[in-house]
Amino acid sequence: MGRLVLKGVSRKFNGYLAVSDVNLEVADGEFVCLLGPSGCGKTTLLRMAAGLDAPTEGELFLDDKKIEGVNKEVGFVFQEYVLFPWRTAKGNIEFGPEMKGVQKDERERISQHYIDLVGLKGFENHYPHELSGGMKQRVGIARAYANTPKLLLMDEPFGALDAQTRNLMQGELLRIWEKEHISALFVTHSVDEAVYLADRVVVLSAGPGAVKEIFDVNIPRPRVRTSPEANALRNEILKCLGAEIQRAAGSEREIHR
């Protein structure tokens, strides 16, 4: 199971409305991408789903259980990896099980499994500063998975990677996700990424963040980025998003004036 429901979620920061009345559902096993201009509250939504932030109005549920306090049933993957620099790749992956008091033998088994799954063989004992961005994010994904979450929350996980590595990692993520299927909520501002990965793409409007439109991606995987269906959908989403980016840029001009 892993069904995330957002009911009328709003979030204010010092009187400024960042997220406004978001109603959204991520079905069990579904891959949903949140897409929107910067400053539209995407990260805030993810943090609320993780229980790292609380809505000022509305409620969030994971499998009908209200999210209050830190949600330990999610796996969070960060843009800047946010690994524990004093732990090796293996040590990072074992962090979740270790906190739960899982015995050493069992932890070894778990980390070995995810090291194999994400393709980190041979790098187990490397410290994060010895790994490339792509490898670091493999550790990040494995660390989230090793905690057996019901829901993956990913905050622009490939945003800091170069274009080639980024494409490679998108493929890798799908490969992993198809093997160990859990619900995923993925924040990005790349339309291409969203169309390649998601079952559904949720376009958010800018300032305050609200759901503008939801697109179903009915393209069977593995997807070809340049297929006519993908191109058509990308165009549609870009059109929808374009207006928002204009608005966001406009308000930025307001601010800088």
- Note whether 257 binds other proteins by CB under 8 A: no
Give the sign of the dihedral formed by CA 87, CA 92, CA 94, CA 96: positive
Rg (CA), the chain: 18
Q: 37-76 mask for other proteins (x: CB under 8 A)?
A: ----------x--xxx-----------------xxx-xxx
DSSP label at 220? P
CA distance 38 to 245: 8
- Note whether 98 binds other proteins by CB under 8 A: yes
Least distance to other proteins from the beta carbon of 82, Å?
A: 5
Whichever of 7 and 87 has its CB closer to other proteins, that residue is 87
Q: 63, 14 in Cβ contact below 8 A?
A: no
Residue with tokens 């494995």: 142
CA distance 93 to 40: 31
Whichever of 44 and 147 has its CB closer to other proteins, that residue is 147
Residue from 3, 7, 12, 87 binding other proteins (CB under 8 A): 87
**Stretch of residues binding other proteins (CB under 8 A), selected from 83-91, 103-111, 182-190, 247-255:** 83-91
- Note whether 183 binds other proteins by CB under 8 A: no
Q: Among residues 224, 191, 202, which one has the least CA distance to residue 42?
A: 202
CA distance 72 to 65: 12
- Note whether 95 binds other proteins by CB under 8 A: yes
In the range 107-136, which residues lie near other proteins by CB under 8 A? Answer: 127-129
Least distance to other proteins from the beta carbon of 205, Å?
A: 26
Q: Which residues pair with 11 in a beta bridge?
A: 19
Residues that bind other proteins (CB under 8 A): 47, 50-52, 70-72, 74-76, 78, 80, 82, 84-87, 95-96, 98-100, 127-129, 143, 147
